[in-house]
Amino acid sequence: MMRQTPLTNWHREHHGRLVDFAGWEMPVQYTTIVQEHHAVRKQAGLFDISHMGRLYVQGEDATCFLDYVTTIAASSMKPGKIRYALATNGQGGIQDDILIYKREDGFLVVVNASNREKIVSSWQKTAMQFKNVALLDKTLSQGMIALQGPEALSVLAELGCEELSALKYYRFVDSTLQGVGATISRTGYTGEDGFEIIAENDRILSLWKKVLEAGQSRGVVACGLGCRDTLRLEAGMPLYGHELSETIDPLTAGLKFAVSLNKENFLGRDILADIDKQSPKKCRVGLELEGRRIAREETPILDESEAQVGEVTSGTFSPTLEKSIAMGYIPIELSSVGTKLLISFRGKTVTASVVELPFYRRNKKSR
């Protein structure tokens, strides 16, 4: 049986098309993916992301533990900060891409729904090597929602959160929203400004309704996972199971910014240091296709001699740019912007050009 979020009944009552996503019953769309996509780019969209794992790491050795199982230096983080990181295996492959919140009493780690049980199992075994580490999984007792888009800050300000205007990107606060205690962060997975709200299960539905009500006059709508995928792809953000896996290392994936090789030790460090020294043989690139045809996952990428040099990991027709776009891995020598390649559709080929990532950049306002 699929797990349900605290908002599942609301989704069903409001005609959300529910699908099985990593064992959770989640809405993929309410109207159309394109309509919801444009709402996020132009106004704001509200997403139920309660399926994401929320793991609290506490104890005297919590910092040392996270320094060992992730690629960043958790020891350098100050309370209120968030860092993007990778959880790695002993071979330097990516177990998951995660967000680490530094709290006064430890850390909150947000992991992908599809990897939560794997991460919990792996980390519990590793924690036994440390004297004092407590790993608490609160995924099933909390809800999490994300308000993304240019109107996000204005909507939350109407609900009494004016102080969020001073909250910098990749920061969070423990605050009160409409009388409900919540953790509010400023990150996102859409390429837009936005906020995530974590609260207990019995309070998250009330917050969901109040955010939608406050945003109604500003065009805010409930959005499903369908447009979340097109939005993140336009923003050039990798998705686990597509661009990321246990057989792909962070350097090849273009995520060196999230790897602290100057740390003395972490899982896979020596292998990653060797890859960095020799330089990766492949890299993740953005591709812009001629025409409107969509290159789906595993579609072959060919060089101009029609020899296969890689394959697509994600592709869509961009609602914002009105172009067919894709990401994939190809040899480093073919990765220069402007390089012409071919996408193979069952024997027929379409020309594609390597382009700079991300495909889409929002106009950032000063914060």
Q: Which of 186, 52, 39 lies closest to 113 in space, CA to CA?
A: 52
- Whole-structure pTM value: 0.97
Q: Name residue, tokens 């199992």.
A: 121
Give percent of the chain with pLDDT exceeding 90: 96
Give pLDDT tens digits for 242-301. 999 999 999 999 999 999 999 989 999 999 999 999 999 999 999 999 999 999 999 999
Which pLDDT score, from 0 to 100, does residue 345 have?
A: 96
Question: Torsion-angle region of residue 14: left (phi > 0), alpha (psi -120 to 50) or beta?
Answer: alpha
Domain ranges across the chain: 8-52+140-234, 53-137, 281-355
Phi and psi angles of residue 315, each rounded to the nearest 5 degrees, phi first? -155, 150
3-class secondary structure, 82: strand
Phi, psi torsion values for 203, nearest 5 degrees: -120, -15
The rounded distance, in Å, linking the Cα atoms of 297 and 314 is: 5
Q: How far apart are CA 185 and CA 207, in angstroms?
A: 15
Q: Is 311 helix (H, G, I), strand (E, B) or coil?
A: strand
Phi and psi at 155, nearest 5°, equal -65, -45
Decide if 8-52+140-234 and 53-137 have a common fold: no
pLDDT of amino acid 323? 98
**DSSP 3-state assignment of 128?**
coil
Burial 219-245 (b: 16+ CB within 10 A, else e): ebbbbbbbbbbbbbbbbbbbbbebbbe
Which pLDDT score, from 0 to 100, does residue 363 have?
Answer: 80
Stretch 94-110: mean pLDDT = 98
CATH code linked to domain 8-52+140-234: 3.30.1360.120
Instruction: Determine the distance from the C-alpha atom of residue 105 to the mean position of all C-alpha atoms in its chain, rounded to a whole number.
Output: 25
Q: What angle do the packed helices 116-127 and 62-69 form, to 10 degrees?
A: 120
Q: What fold is seen in the domain 281-355?
A: Elongation Factor Tu (Ef-tu); domain 3 (2.40.30)
Query: What are the residues facing 327 on neighbouring strands?
Result: 286, 314
What is the model's pLDDT at position 364?
63
Contact in structure between 339 and 356 (CB atoms under 8 Å): no
Model confidence over 153-162: pLDDT tens digits? 999 999 998 8
The correct CATH number of 53-137 out of 3.30.70.1400, 2.40.160.100, 1.10.10.10, 3.40.50.720 is 3.30.70.1400
